[in-house]
Structure 1
Amino acid sequence: MYFFRKKRLFVILIGFIILVGLIGLTLRDREELSTVEEFLQDTVGWLQNVVHIPVEFSTSLISNIEDMKNVYEENQVLKSRLGQYKNLLYEVQELKQDNEELRNVLDKTESITDYQPIQASVIARSPEPAFHQVKISKGKQHGVESNMAVITGNGMIGKVQSAAQFTSTVLLLSGFDRSNRISVDVAIEDKKNVSGFIVGFDEESESLLLELNTYDVKLDGGELVVSSGMGGVFPRSLEIGTIEEVTPDKYGLTQIAHVTPSANLSNSDHVIVVNRLALQPEDEITQEGEE
């Protein structure tokens, strides 16, 4: 029993000496490797390569997915900001147009000295273009009455067709016909003004039809057309538009001029109702006394 125990210790000692020797041999700088070392190194290298390829592929795939996710998120953010920018740009354009309209209305209000201007806003438009109507935010309680002229800072757009207590319906110039005609003057430089009537609207050219009272007058185009004040319905000198061309009527008895409206008939948000009743002297005295 003792012999076998001693023999086992001897074998362990010899094995330990061999192991230390191998470790020392392995750690020593050598240019040549043993066959066993070469086999072990190649085997370990092959296993490392086999493991490295899928690991590298998985890492690259995960990295690409993460990059795609980041690109998608950045794209969503950019789309959101682009939408916000478009909305902001639209709001700025709307505010700019609104501001320009208000300035024109204010300038026109200050220039009307013989009539009482009633400022109003367009609150609704006719869903059917054939009706040629808009609704405004002022009515009888504000002094609005039927047949009062309605203008913008650029020119006349129509007349009050009907007035309720707090709102009114405006018939646009594009809806005028012979039953709603306007007496107008055509300003001709260095010549006597020519008169006529707005009797309709040409949908194709989007121009008012002016029937001239005389046939022999020659118009070159560009002449200003204003209300004449005849008939007592509309004040005089309200700008309506400019003449584009003149053609004879179908009977050859008179001339028809195509007039481009000065104001935007379909897209005005702020208007002025012109009270055709001038301030009476007693009203002026009363107002001065109140001041």
Structure 2
Amino acid sequence: MRNKRPFILMIGLILFIALMGFTLGRPRLTWPERFVNDAFGTAQGALYRPVGAVADFFRDLGRLSDVYKENEVLRRTVAKYTQDQIRFNSLDAENARLKEKLSFTERQKQFNNYRYMIAQVAGATSNPYENTIKINLGSRDGLKPQMAVTTEDGLVGLVSRVSNFTSTVTLVTSLDANTAKGMPVSATVQGRETESFGIIEYDEQTHTLLMTKIDENDPLQENDTVITSGYGGVFPKGIVIGTVKSKQVGDFGLTQTATITPAAKFDHLREVFVVVAPDVEGP
């Protein structure tokens, strides 16, 4: 029995080889050949699908890794673009703001002979009883106490203290002549043949500017533009203070008092101008 098995296998192999040689070159296959081919094709197809799926899976993983790397590059590019856009917008806004301020100084030259030194606001006091700001110009830049400070909108205040590199500016809301540290701000109305006159004070209760001591016959009206009169030798003439919001009878019915809406935006001070008048020895 043991010797028959190898013999049978050998006979079967010889018959298979003979069968293959016999069928070579024939256009038609016998049914055993067709059976073998169909069986092999079915088995090959059954194996090809899962093997192809596994190959596609690993190929997709490789592509996913490439997509992730591309997304990382795109995210960094977008982040850099966003930072550049923010920087550009900031520079563009600052450029437009400075152009407006330069235009302001050029316009002022048509009305007076003042010179304007631009300064950056470096800080503001947190003391509610002392409304001041600090600017980045000092004595080395030629600043002196009692120089007027303004913006392109209107009067801000007066230089009160000067150091080498910085100066303190007391806001007009603290220059009330009725206080111990006050400085009278004399005012008039712009563009009126009959000259008005009054003194600017600050109302702590309403947080508004008042123009007091106005003559009872003064033709001052609402929406009039109030400017510095130049009297007193401190504030140069022609700096806008604000507009008349309303007026009422003053003390004892002998004068009028007007409520003034300040022209300067005190809560948005970024750059200011120090006014150098012709009769003040400037830098």
> Fold-level match, TM-score > 0.5?
yes
Q: Deviations over 1:147-176 (max 9, x none)?
A: 222234443221111233554321122333
C-alpha deviation, 1:35, in angstroms: 2.0
**Does 1:37 find its partner at 2:37?**
yes
Q: Is the 8 A contact 1:248 1:256 kept in 2?
A: yes
Distance 1:135 1:35, change over 3 A: same
Q: Deviations over 1:52-76 (max 9, x none)?
A: 2222233234434432442343133
The residue that corresponds to 2:242 in the other structure is 241
Give TM-score, length-normalised by structure 1. 0.72
**Does 1:163 find its partner at 2:162?**
yes
- Distance (Å, rounded) in 1 between the aligned partners of 2:60 and 2:142: 78
- Distance (Å, rounded) in 2 between the aligned partners of 1:188 and 1:110: 15
Please, what is the CA RMSD of the aligned residues? 3.7
* Structure 2, unpaired ranges of 5+: 1-9
One-letter code aligned to 2:154: G
Q: Is the 8 A contact 1:188 1:194 kept in 2?
A: no
- Distance (Å, rounded) in 2 between the aligned partners of 1:187 and 1:95: 31
**Does 1:90 find its partner at 2:93?**
no
Distance 1:181 1:70, change over 3 A: same
SS state at 2:53 partner: helix
Q: Is the 8 A contact 2:200 2:210 kept in 1?
A: yes
* Structure 1, unpaired ranges of 5+: 1-8, 280-291
The residue that corresponds to 2:6 in the other structure is none
Give TM-score, length-normalised by structure 2. 0.74
Mean Cα displacement is larger for which, 92-101 or 152-161?
Answer: 152-161
Distance 1:236 1:11, change over 3 A: closer
Q: Deviations over 1:226-259 (max 9, x none)?
A: 1122323223332222223335569877554332
Q: Deviations over 1:121-141 (max 9, x none)?
A: 235221527343233444445
One-letter code aligned to 1:180: M
The residue that corresponds to 1:128 in the other structure is 126
C-alpha deviation, 1:204, in angstroms: 6.9
- Distance (Å, rounded) in 2 between the aligned partners of 1:18 and 1:29: 13
Q: Is the 8 A contact 1:185 1:228 kept in 2?
A: yes
C-alpha deviation, 1:184, in angstroms: 0.7
- Distance (Å, rounded) in 1 between the aligned partners of 2:164 and 2:12: 121
C-alpha deviation, 1:106, in angstroms: 4.3
Percent identical pairs in the alignment equals 22
The residue that corresponds to 2:149 in the other structure is 150
The residue that corresponds to 1:285 in the other structure is none
Distance 1:176 1:96, change over 3 A: same
The residue that corresponds to 1:231 in the other structure is 232
C-alpha deviation, 1:97, in angstroms: 0.8
The residue that corresponds to 2:47 in the other structure is 47
How many residue pairs get aligned? The number is 265
Q: Is the 8 A contact 1:105 1:271 kept in 2?
A: no
- Distance (Å, rounded) in 1 between the aligned partners of 2:134 and 2:235: 20
SS state at 1:231 partner: coil
One-letter code aligned to 1:271: F
